[in-house]
Every structure is written in structure tokens, then in C-alpha cells.
Amino acid sequence: MEEANEILGFRITDIMFGGSDEDLRATRVTQPAIFIHSTALALCTPDLPAPEMVGGHSLGEFSALVAAGAVSFADGLRLVKIRAEQMQACCEKVPGTMAAILGLPDATVEEICAATPGTVIAANYNCDGQIVISGEKEAVLAACEALKAAGAKRALPLSVGGAFHSPLMEPAREGLAKAIEATEIKAPRCPIYQNVTAAAETDPARIRENLLRQLTSPVRWTASVKNMLAAGATDFTELGPGTVLQGLVKRIAAAEGKEINVNSIA
């Protein structure tokens, strides 16, 4: 925690342990705080088994890399800090939003987004029947109406700062690219299933490339979990605040007819 305070240049621990909800929602705080929480659990939890594979949803990919030994805690936090700053600056320049879509096949969501004027794409494939779309505000709202007309159970705009994991994040690439290029990335101790490919990655060059592509590409969480299951995963442990991924993994495994154990350390 003290190392994090020094790297960030302010006492994030004071906010994490004693700040208000509003303080925690500030972009410069939220992403580093979640990263610190997750990696502290991964590195400091007694008796936590060494993972045979890892994965993380969006920001969580950075803490997964630390857990797998591919990136140091300090370097991971520096990347998260720069990523948060670049994304915030991008959001201020290029306003956008996201919306959760429930109850439609992936292909239907993709087709309607493609047919909607403006920029809007399927950005988070969370589990079968649950996708988050991202893009320009008017395009997202128009897509929501079309998706509801197509039978979506819900099409709910989200309270987010911008159009994450969409082409609207392109202006943030340059600053993050320089930071990723300057960061030492080692071969991980186990495969990491990255958001962009949903495949098991172990090559540092590929990991580096995928980290940057993640900024403007969809999070393929459904496919990542299915590929982990196909590789023999039977026990999943979620590290970090909340149990959202625990629920998604259970739904994906059930859809695949797999019996698994899922735990959470929050």
C-alpha cells in the first residue's frame, strides 16, 4: 500500500480506507484502487493455490498479469495509472457511453449495432445473453431502442465516463503504447487468457500487443471462460471487490454443461 502511494504521488490508501463513495469514483482513483486491491489479494492471501491459468476482465487483466508473474506490482500500477489518465482525457475529448443488453444472441446485438448510424459496437461479451455495447451517446441510445424492438429483455444505459473498449478510445492509444513498450513483460508462470484473443497467451510480445489492443477492442470474457473450461479448468477463484465475475463464470459453465467450483476472495 505504501509503495502504491509513492508510485501514484498521492495517498490513495487514505481514500480506499477512509474516503467517500464519490472520492472512490474519481477515475484517477477507481482503476488503481481496484488493481491494488486485487493484486494485494493475489500476492498476500495465505494458502492461495498457485494458478494453472489466469484471466481478468478489462482492468483485471493487469492484475492477472501480476498474479502470473509477467509484470511486477510496481510496473503494473504504473501502467494502470497511465491507462486511467489516458482514458479519462479521451472521455473528456470524445464523449461516449455504454449500455447493458440482456436476452439476445451475440449475433443479433452485433448486427443491430452494425446497422445503427454512428459508432456503436458490442464491447463486453460477459456471458451468453449478456453484452455491453459502447460508442457515441446517440448511437448507443438508438441501438438500445432497436435492440428492445428485437426482443431484448433489457437495454439499460450505464453510468460510465465514456465509451470504453470501442474505437472512441483510439486517442488514448499513443500514451498507453509508450508506457507498455517501456514496461518489462516476462513470460508468465502460467497461461493468461487475454480479453482480445480469449486464447491462452504466454509469449511476452503477444501479451504486450494484446494489452494495447484491449483499449479499443471488445472484452471476450465468455469465450475466455469457455476456453479455460475446455483446457480443463474446474476451480475458479475471483480476487477483488465484488463477485460479478463469479456469477458470470457460473452461468457460462452451466451453459457448457460443466460442473465447477467457484470461490471469491474480496
Calculate mean pLDDT across residues 197-215.
97
Give the CATH number of the domain where residue 133 resides. 3.30.70.250
Output the pLDDT for position 28: 81
Q: pTM here?
A: 0.95
Q: Are residues 75 and 135 in the same domain?
A: no
Domain hosting residue 13, numbered range: 2-93+167-265
Output the pLDDT for position 161: 82
Catalytic: which of 38, 63, 134, 165?
Answer: 165
Respond yes or no: is residue 72 known to be catalytic. Answer: no
Respond yes or no: is residue 63 known to be catalytic. Answer: no
Q: Are residues 18 and 138 in the same domain?
A: no
Q: Are residues 221 and 196 in the same domain?
A: yes
Residue-wise pLDDT tens digits, 26-56: 878 999 999 999 999 999 998 898 999 999 9
Q: Are residues 221 and 257 in the same domain?
A: yes
Give the helix/strand (H/E) hosting 134.
Answer: strand 130-135
Give the helix/strand (H/E) hosting 96.
Answer: none
Residue 85 lies in a domain: yes
Which 3 state secondary structure label does DSSP give 243?
A: coil
Q: Are residues 188 and 253 in the same domain?
A: yes
Catalytic: which of 37, 58, 72, 264?
Answer: 58
Calculate mean pLDDT across residues 173-191.
95
Residue 162 lies in a domain: no
Answer yes or no: is pLDDT of 198 > 80: yes
Q: Are residues 192 and 249 in the same domain?
A: yes
Q: How many domains does the chain have?
A: 2
Q: Are strands 120-127 and 219-220 parallel, antiparallel or unpaired?
A: parallel
